[in-house]
Structure 1
Amino acid sequence: MNADAKPALPADSVQSVAEGAIDGPLLIVLNPGSGAQDADDARRRIAAVLDAAGRAHEFIAVEDPAQLGGIAADCALRAAASGGAVVAAGGDGTINAVAHAVLEAGCRFGVLPMGTFNYFGRTHHIPEDLEAAARVLVEGELRPVQVGEVNGRIFLVNASVGMYPQLLEERETAKRQFGRSRAVAFVSALYTLLRNHRVLRLWLRCDDATGRVETPTLFVGNNRLQLEQIGMAEAACVDAGALAVIGLRPVSPLGMLALALRGTLGRLGDADNVFSFPCAALFVSAGGGRRPPRVKVATDGEVLWMRLPLQFRVAPARLQLLCPPPAP
């Protein structure tokens, strides 16, 4: 935690921008490759709102995705020292990378949603319209927001192992070929689901309960909106300070397609081939074996390799996020 950062907000506190919650400039980390919006047009629209409000700001464009982490870390340190805020302008993957740096530095955080699904922004009522989202940076209030963590890497929406990371990788390939839209994402997901998938044999420990499971994918959710949309009763647990653990029992490709249809209709939680439970911390291991295997883990759409065991938990620190003020 940076020594120059403002003290973190208590878990239930709120502070408005008008009350001096943010004294310094807004450092806007812009990912031009997020979503289908034109980056130059987006920049002009955001700047028009902030200029009209007299709000000091600076755009930092990320031309090379490999540099995103370093750019975000530099901006977070500057914001912590100046009393400003770092703003992530992009999709959930961009928001995740910037949020990681913000948590490390202890500064304030804002979001301009520019991705395909924008689960994080929508959950916290941040408009998908850019001008309206920019006004939140001027008129909003800071609220503490729960963050998930797996082996030291944060996630705001979800983390997963097994089939779901594969689905995300293939979806990203399809988006590069056919464009970034929800239709492309949907068709790509169907293609992935209709193939056979490796079954993972895992040991799970949650609180005092331990059990062995066989599953093609294990999903840990930290986003109430996404969980509600697929029909999981555990959606409410996120607001209570827990994570939602979801696993699928092994099924055929057609059975997987049926589960996907249930999720689309908001009825996944009713399926016999789904198990789920709330948990503040989950330990995942492979059981026996001399060398723990590596698995692909997805965090907010970004895929990387991790070696088992995995420890999912609610992170001890919370994001200090600029959210819209309540309606009068």
Structure 2
Amino acid sequence: MKVVHFIVNPIAGKGKPVITTKYLSQYFEKKEYAIVVKHSRYKGHAKFLAEQSLREKAAIIVACGGDGTINEVASCLVHTRTALGIIPIGSGNGLARNLNIPMNLDKAIAIIKNNKTVAIDVGKVNDDYFFSNMGMGFLAKTISNFERLEKRRFTNYLKAFLLSIPSYKSNLKYRVRCNGREKWFQPFFILVSNTNELGYNVSLTKRALLDDGLFDIVIIDQLNPLKLIYLLFLFLIGTENKVREHYYCRTGKAVIEIKGSNSKNTPYQIDGEFKSCDSKRLQLEILVKRLIVLAP
């Protein structure tokens, strides 16, 4: 009998069926599967529940939510043989889209039953894992504003984005070391991505692959408002590299050092969740194919 645990973010998936043991029983035969459903109650709780499920010898642990919920669950499964299942009922769903996991519940559950697995790379920044992306500067500010809004949906993300434009100012300088080179920036934002999509079908790293042993780094230097609007237009048509402030590289390791900050904390976002650390030096690396995921 296969033991499958579902860790559900109850805030995600408004308008979709509630994922309960009763709901799942129509898909998973009792003779073949032992189903356990757990609901997270606060930020960080999904990670606690996933660690508990590992101790309980679950063969598959399914994250039901968005990229943030997936991050908490998947962080416990790195370097293990336990497979991660994904039911994408969140807002952005960047990792699920990159893995071609359908947004349709029936089809997503069918992938879990099919039991086909792939091994994907894992990003790491200091002690934190990321599976889609991490971002600094304006991207972290946008996520910070997004988390203050009541509901996680695209219109609120757009609202947070627009609110962040006039309020974001930074004089910090960043030294980026990768591929044997060193370069200084005063960036508008830095994006380090393991996937080819941010979420909501938006991509700044179309060349990124989940299993190539590399992440893609995009850095945009400080822009005036008019140049920012122009850059947004270029992103929409996929020609953002035409602006001289655009920097792009692909690497397996990088170091980012921040200069000029009086704050003790360095803010960033990881897989759509706002975080910070007490270090001005971020060590980034790719862990090659260290996570097993159920995928088409």
TM surpasses 0.5:
yes
Counterpart for residue 270 of structure 2: 299
Equivalent residue of 2:91, what SS?
coil
- Identical counterparts, % of pairs: 19
Counterpart for residue 149 of structure 1: 124
Change (3 A) 1:40 1:85: same
Answer yes or no: is 1:138 the counterpart of 2:113.
Answer: yes
Candidates 252, 268, 282, aligned match of 1:310: 282
Counterpart for residue 124 of structure 1: 99
Answer yes or no: is 1:203 the counterpart of 2:178.
Answer: no
Cα separation, 2, equivalents of 1:297 and 1:111 = 24
Counterpart for residue 256 of structure 1: 228
Cα separation, 1, equivalents of 2:62 and 2:209 = 27
User: Does the CA contact (< 8 Å) of 1:190 and 1:257 recur in 2?
Assistant: no
Counterpart for residue 217 of structure 1: 189
Counterpart for residue 89 of structure 1: 64
User: Does the CA contact (< 8 Å) of 1:150 and 1:312 recur in 2?
Assistant: yes
How many residues matched? 294
Range with bigger deviation, 120-129 or 48-57: 48-57
Answer yes or no: is 1:162 the counterpart of 2:142.
Answer: no
Cα separation, 2, equivalents of 1:102 and 1:284 = 26
Structure 1 position 244, deviation (Å)? 0.6
Change (3 A) 1:253 1:35: farther
Equivalent residue of 1:269, what SS?
helix
Structure 1 position 56, deviation (Å)? 2.4
Answer yes or no: is 1:34 the counterpart of 2:6.
Answer: no
Q: Report the TM-score, using the length of structure 1 for normalisation.
A: 0.81
Candidates 41, 44, 48, aligned match of 1:63: 41
Range with bigger deviation, 220-229 or 303-312: 220-229
Cα separation, 2, equivalents of 1:137 and 1:173 = 33
User: Does the CA contact (< 8 Å) of 1:292 and 1:309 recur in 2?
Assistant: no
User: Does the CA contact (< 8 Å) of 1:297 and 1:304 recur in 2?
Assistant: yes
Cα separation, 2, equivalents of 1:218 and 1:200 = 12
Counterpart for residue 4 of structure 1: none
What is the root-mean-square deviation of aligned Cα atoms in Å?
2.6
Cα separation, 2, equivalents of 1:119 and 1:196 = 25
Cα separation, 2, equivalents of 1:204 and 1:231 = 19
**Unaligned runs of at least 5 residues, structure 1:** 1-22
Change (3 A) 1:45 1:261: farther
Cα separation, 1, equivalents of 2:124 and 2:203 = 22
Change (3 A) 1:37 1:98: farther
Candidates 57, 70, 73, aligned match of 2:51: 73
Cα separation, 2, equivalents of 1:110 and 1:214 = 39
User: Does the CA contact (< 8 Å) of 2:44 and 2:72 recur in 1?
Assistant: no
Counterpart for residue 242 of structure 1: 214
User: Does the CA contact (< 8 Å) of 1:193 and 1:257 recur in 2?
Assistant: no
Q: Which has the higher strand share?
A: 2
Structure 1 position 236, deviation (Å)? 4.1
Q: Report the TM-score, using the length of structure 2 for normalisation.
A: 0.89
Structure 1 position 238, deviation (Å)? 4.9
One-letter amino acid of the structure 1 residue matched with residue 243 of structure 2: A
One-letter amino acid of the structure 2 residue matched with residue 257 of structure 1: I
Counterpart for residue 102 of structure 1: 77
Q: Which has the higher helix share?
A: 1
Structure 1 position 296, deviation (Å)? 0.3
Answer yes or no: is 1:189 the counterpart of 2:161.
Answer: yes
User: Does the CA contact (< 8 Å) of 1:232 and 1:269 recur in 2?
Assistant: no
User: Does the CA contact (< 8 Å) of 1:76 and 1:85 recur in 2?
Assistant: no
Change (3 A) 1:268 1:245: same
User: Does the CA contact (< 8 Å) of 1:148 and 1:154 recur in 2?
Assistant: yes
User: Does the CA contact (< 8 Å) of 1:200 and 1:216 recur in 2?
Assistant: no
Cα separation, 1, equivalents of 2:154 and 2:258 = 35
User: Does the CA contact (< 8 Å) of 1:170 and 1:188 recur in 2?
Assistant: yes
Answer yes or no: is 1:271 the counterpart of 2:271.
Answer: no
Counterpart for residue 203 of structure 2: 230
Change (3 A) 1:201 1:105: same
**Unaligned runs of at least 5 residues, structure 2:** none
One-letter amino acid of the structure 1 residue matched with residue 232 of structure 2: A
